Amino acid sequence: MPPQLLELFAGQRGVATYRQIREVIGRRVMERLVRDGHLVKIWPGIYSGPKPSALTRLRGLDLRCGEPVAVCLHTAAAVHGFDTEQPSRLHVLKPQGHQLRDDDALVVHHREGVPLTTVRGRLVTPPAWTAVEVARKVERPRALATLDAALRSQTCDVAGLWRAAEAQAARRGIVKVRELIGVGASAG
């Protein structure tokens, strides 16, 4: 990879726009790097080096939107250290004023008023909220595994899970989650 391109990626934490890349290398060189797998298009108009990590793909979304994109569900669980599902798609909250759409690598959630916190500079739903939200959406055994993993990660406690369940009271799957929190509280 040309040194100018390596410098560009290093300065932008592994991502660059098509326009930025074209400012440092020619079109034919870029096409060859893409064809040979040295450059990967991770989002429309956004590129990275080969085999981009989930974090690199998130940075690409940030670059595309011009602001940090908040993560939720399984992606947030991974940030907090208790993801048990490991889906390949990133789960993000729709940023205000940006048109992100679901695709093979991305699930965009349209939610208002979701609580957010920051972990290592990334906007993310809080641990207890995340655990309850993931548990609501998966089958009962997986829900119990998620809640257990959240508690074992020590990022939240049973009281926090109860508060998050109360905050999500009207959502589908919450009855199952309340029962499972009760099981976890009585077992611990």
Please indicate, yes or no, if residue 133 is contained in any of the structural domains: yes
Angle at 132 between CA 140 and CA 152, to 5 degrees: 85
How high is the pLDDT of residue 166? 96
- For residues 169-183, average pLDDT: 91
Q: 124-169: per-residue pLDDT in tens?
A: 999 999 999 999 999 999 999 999 999 999 999 999 999 999 999 9
Same domain, 183 and 128: yes
185 pLDDT above the threshold of 90: no
Same domain, 36 and 94: no
* Residue/partner pairs of 123-126 with CB below 8 Å, 24 or more apart: 123/68, 123/69, 123/70, 123/71, 124/70, 124/71, 124/72, 124/76, 124/79, 124/80, 125/70, 125/71, 125/72, 125/73, 125/76, 125/93, 126/156, 126/164
How high is the pLDDT of residue 113? 83
Same domain, 9 and 88: no
Q: Which residues span the domain enclosing 90?
A: 67-187
* CA nearest to 151, candidates 175, 103, 104, 183: 183
Least confident range from 21-25, 68-72, 95-99: namely 95-99
- For residues 22-42, average pLDDT: 95
Q: How many domains does the chain have?
A: 2
User: For the chain, what is the mean pLDDT?
Assistant: 92
CB within 8 Å of 15: residues ≥ 6 apart: 9, 42, 46, 47, 48, 56, 59, 60, 63
How high is the pLDDT of residue 172? 93
- For residues 76-85, average pLDDT: 94
Q: 98-122: per-residue pLDDT in tens?
A: 888 899 999 999 888 899 999 998 9
47 pLDDT above the threshold of 60: yes
How high is the pLDDT of residue 85? 85
Query: Which residues partner with 16 through β-bridges?
Result: 47
Please indicate, yes or no, if residue 45 is contained in any of the structural domains: yes
188 pLDDT above the threshold of 80: no
How high is the pLDDT of residue 62? 94
CA dihedral 98, 103, 107, 110 (to 10 degrees): 40
Please indicate, yes or no, if residue 92 is contained in any of the structural domains: yes
Q: Which stretch of DSSP H or E encloses residue 145?
A: helix 140-152
187 pLDDT above the threshold of 60: no
How high is the pLDDT of residue 182? 82
